[in-house]
Structure 1
């Protein structure tokens, strides 16, 4: 005997109400920890009340509440800056090549912040030419924040004060890096790519000293081996992230480090789902 369609629909609605009631009762009972809250959300996803993308965004929003600026900022060594004395002929190649929309303007050093240059403020050069142009006339005030500021607080300040970039200082008052509103939003919604982002099929390797590099965790193992003369096995994993997680025995947090075959890896940036950036120190030999 076939099941009555009306009865089937009623059963389905009752099941949905049951899970909704359980979800709401979970919230009303005030979860005691972040893990309790995440478990309730994941249970809702398992029963198709939320999709995976929604769960990921909720986790990201919760994560932002607990994270500090130092965990997402662009480090000082990777900042693209403009000198206050630079002429349009000197600064325009930097603006064009980097494709950024905002640039810290500095004096004698990166600690001497003069302001922020918006690329759009250079558009009058097209009509008016470069005669009598000085950066001091077009730069905007820079916002300076401590690297310990929580990301949810910073996001609120970005929104309320209507600025999109801040310079980050360490405990000694020196510039440690910069952070943008995009850096914070990416913690919630994932990577945001625009038309200026280049496809990076070969991974990412940036040399910072004679034997130190910053690399993406998704760098393919075979490319790592070719670049640094290593002999890591790629039969089990495809990327350096897999090698590191196996070595750590868990998903590592920022500043955790491990040595493998003479190569030292220090995690620069990782979230609750994956490793993103690593500082690599290669053997001096």
Structure 2
């Protein structure tokens, strides 16, 4: 990044969004006077105005390259995300029961290779803390495996409401030096986990480390021009963005949950209904288990 770009980025993040928007907007030249009671609404409007002008304004190319421009846009759009939009859902979370045999727990931890593991007591909705794997191995090295006290090693859980704004959550996690948040719904039920890495990936894209397994099949796999095989946990927003669709997003988050809501039950038997039509889109469950729709086919009708 040259000096000109560096100065632009520094100035950009140090200026209120409303001021930046009024300077760069090519659509509106009037100055906005923010009334205190309307400040949040005005800031949101100014932000949206700036994002649109920032992405379209040819002058931006003089200051930032495509990668930098995309990153700045993603940072601004963090304000629209909630914890539930970024979290790993509970069905994909590796967690351990404090009541299990210590040997079995260690075998699972070694196999899964996570550095932090949620711990629950009998029921996964009863999360009691987070286990740092390094703490476990430090105890194991001292001697008898049976003397390892997991309850004494688990750390205080950091609970986060599923609708907490991501930008505020990132600031809090950095301030408190917390790497994992346990997401809960309005009833206190466990819905998933979220890490700082998950939030950073919303800005810079996916970050793979040496332990990440490459995905053999993408979440959205093209079968033909109008037919796609989709992972049931894929967000409806991602499906809409990728395939230029307008599937409803107000009630459910994932494409599998959307189909399940239309069907009314998981189609475990051949006689069960497995197909639903929403507008010009047909969804069909092709792989399921007792808990969810794993894969489905999406067909776009003319």
Q: Which moved more, 1:102-111 or 1:52-61?
A: 52-61
2:147 corresponds to 1:132: yes
- 2:64 pairs, out of 38, 50, 72, with 50
Q: What residue number does 1:168 align with?
A: 183
Q: Whole-Å Cα distance in 2 between the matches of residues 191 and 86 of structure 1?
A: 34
Q: State whether residues 45 and 52 of structure 1, in contact with CA within 8 Å, keep that contact through their aligned partners in structure 2.
A: no
Q: Whole-Å Cα distance in 2 between the matches of residues 255 and 159 of structure 1?
A: 29
Paired residues, number: 228
- Structure 1 residue 78: deviation in Å? 1.3
Q: Give deviations 1:115-146, integer Å, cap 9, x for gaps.
A: 10011112221342413112111110001111
- Structure 1 residue 281: deviation in Å? 5.0
Q: What residue number does 1:78 align with?
A: 92
2:102 corresponds to 1:92: no
- Structure 1 residue 155: deviation in Å? 0.4
RMSD: 3.7
Q: Whole-Å Cα distance in 1 between the matches of residues 117 and 176 of structure 2?
A: 18
TM-score (structure 2 length as normaliser): 0.63
- Structure 1 residue 191: deviation in Å? 0.8
Q: What residue number does 2:214 align with?
A: 199
Q: State whether residues 166 and 179 of structure 1, in contact with CA within 8 Å, keep that contact through their aligned partners in structure 2.
A: yes
Q: Whole-Å Cα distance in 2 between the matches of residues 165 and 44 of structure 1?
A: 40
Given the superposition, is the C-alpha separation of residues 162 and 44 from structure 1 closer, same or farther in structure 2, using an over 3 Å criterion? Answer: farther
Given the superposition, is the C-alpha separation of residues 87 and 262 from structure 1 closer, same or farther in structure 2, using an over 3 Å criterion? Answer: closer
- Structure 1 residue 196: deviation in Å? 0.5
Q: State whether residues 23 and 44 of structure 1, in contact with CA within 8 Å, keep that contact through their aligned partners in structure 2.
A: no
Q: Whole-Å Cα distance in 2 between the matches of residues 55 and 85 of structure 1?
A: 50
**Runs of 5+ consecutive residues of structure 1 not aligned to the other structure:** 1-12, 14-19, 204-215, 223-232, 266-277
- Report 1 or 2 for greater relative contact order, CA contacts < 8 Å, sequence distance ≥ 6: 1
**Runs of 5+ consecutive residues of structure 2 not aligned to the other structure:** 5-11, 13-19, 33-42, 259-276, 287-292
Given the superposition, is the C-alpha separation of residues 44 and 82 from structure 1 closer, same or farther in structure 2, using an over 3 Å criterion? Answer: farther
Q: What residue number does 1:157 align with?
A: 172
Q: What residue number does 1:221 align with?
A: 222
- Structure 1 residue 60: deviation in Å? 1.4
**Aligned residue runs from structure 1 range 21-36, under 5 A:** 25-26=23-24, 32-36=45-49
Give the match's secondary structure for 1:85. coil
Give the match's secondary structure for 1:47. helix
- Structure 1 residue 154: deviation in Å? 0.6
- Structure 1 residue 239: deviation in Å? 7.4
Q: Whole-Å Cα distance in 1 between the matches of residues 204 and 111 of structure 2?
A: 27
- Structure 1 residue 158: deviation in Å? 0.5
Given the superposition, is the C-alpha separation of residues 24 and 173 from structure 1 closer, same or farther in structure 2, using an over 3 Å criterion? Answer: closer
Q: Whole-Å Cα distance in 2 between the matches of residues 262 and 39 of structure 1?
A: 33
2:174 corresponds to 1:148: no
